[in-house]
């Protein structure tokens, strides 16, 4: 997979080169070419000549099929579980109960019947690799809105 400048990436292998020895390292792509890319780590350091196959896009968990053994799952209600063998095991459960079966979640990580059980975060190797993008309100000034849209805007009152 090729990346573009600005993509957030995560290390998918644990090998000792690039001075990045940790699986789960996160960075941002700053330059690309056909054979390699360069990135900036969260620490601000630049890493050069990185191989595409050793990294994935960050926030790659888009479906329940991307979950891996050992992933730590956080539900909307704050409960945390470990994913293993198509089940999630909570702190108090030593077995896979029907309520913990991953098949009860839709492919988009939404729980069937109760939004308190929606999967909102997935951690792998100590790093957050997925966080649900909720309908967050982004505060912006009129100047910022104009810049985003590429033209001037004027705020007018809505009439009912």
Residue ranges of the domains in the chain?
Answer: 8-57, 59-160
Residue 149 has pLDDT above 60, yes or no: yes
Q: Supply the pLDDT for residue 39.
A: 92
Mean local confidence (pLDDT), 131-154: 81
Pick the CATH number of 8-57 from 3.90.320, 2.130.10, 1.10.287, 2.30.30: 2.30.30
Cβ(60)–Cβ(123) below 8 Å = no
Cβ(28)–Cβ(39) below 8 Å = yes
| DSSP secondary structure of 45-110 | -EEEEE-GGGEEETT---SGGG--TT-EEEETTS-EEEEETTEEEETT-SS--GGGBGGGB-TTS-
Token pair listed for 102? 């991953």
Q: pLDDT tier at 61 (50, 70, 90 boundaries)?
A: low
Q: Supply the pLDDT for residue 137.
A: 66
pTM of structure: 0.51
Token pair listed for 84? 């293993």
Positive or negative: CA dihedral 76, 101, 12, 20 = positive
Q: What is the mean pLDDT of the chain?
A: 79
């Amino acid at each position: 997979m090729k990346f573009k400048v600005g993509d957030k990436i995560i290390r998918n292998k644990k090998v000792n080169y690039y001075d990045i020895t940790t699986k789960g390292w996160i960075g941002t792509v700053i330059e690309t070419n056909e054979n390699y890319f360069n990135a900036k780590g969260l620490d601000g350091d630049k890493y050069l000549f990185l191989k595409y196959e050793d990294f994935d896009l960050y926030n790659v968990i888009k479906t329940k099929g991307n979950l891996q053994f050992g992933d730590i799952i956080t539900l909307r209600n704050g409960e945390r579980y470990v994913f293993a063998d198509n089940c999630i095991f909570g702190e108090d459960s030593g077995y896979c109960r029907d309520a913990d079966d991953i098949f009860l979640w839709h492919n988009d990580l939404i729980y069937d019947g109760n939004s308190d059980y929606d999967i909102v975060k997935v951690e792998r190797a100590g790093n957050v690799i997925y966080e649900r993008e909720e309908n967050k309100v982004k505060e912006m000034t009129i100047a910022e809105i104009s810049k985003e849209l590429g033209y001037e805007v004027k705020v007018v009152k809505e009439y009912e």
